[in-house]
Amino acid sequence: MTDILIWAPEMSVGNADIDFQHKKILDAANMVRGLSGAEDRDIILAALDEVVEYTLAHFAFEEAALKSCGFSGFVEHKAQHDGIRE
């Protein structure tokens, strides 16, 4: 199955750690999509749990990085994360 979420250079935020994490999230989402035809529901649910857990850890990492560098759009960006968390 072809990936639907493909990393492109213009997606880079200029931070190697955050870019790496974004790539991993895209890869994980593509992997879950590839499982959509799997008959074992538990496999799909476990994969989704991993994506959610990794994404939440990424949000915490990214928010700490943005806050520590004084990112002017921090409040708005965190609000986007908070919306996804809900």
Cα 11 from chain centroid?
Answer: 13
The CATH number of whichever domain residue 72 belongs to comes to 1.20.120.50
Q: Is residue 55 part of a domain?
A: yes
Nearest to 55 by CA among 29, 73, 37, 17: 29
Q: Residue 42, SS3? A: helix
- How many domains would you assign to the chain? 1
- Model confidence at 19, pLDDT cuts 50, 70, 90, reads very high
pLDDT at residue 35, rounded to an integer: 84
Residues 36-47 have pLDDT tens digits of 776 778 888 898
Residues 23-75 have pLDDT tens digits of 999 999 888 888 877 677 888 889 899 999 999 999 999 999 999 999 999 99
Nearest to 16 by CA among 72, 65, 60: 65
- Domain holding 27, by residue range, is 16-85
Instruction: Return the structure tokens found at 61.
Output: 């990492």
- Enter the pTM of the model: 0.84
The widest CA-to-CA distance across the chain, in whole angstroms, is 47
CB 30 within 8 A of CB 3: yes
Q: Is residue 11 part of a domain?
A: no
pLDDT at residue 38, rounded to an integer: 65
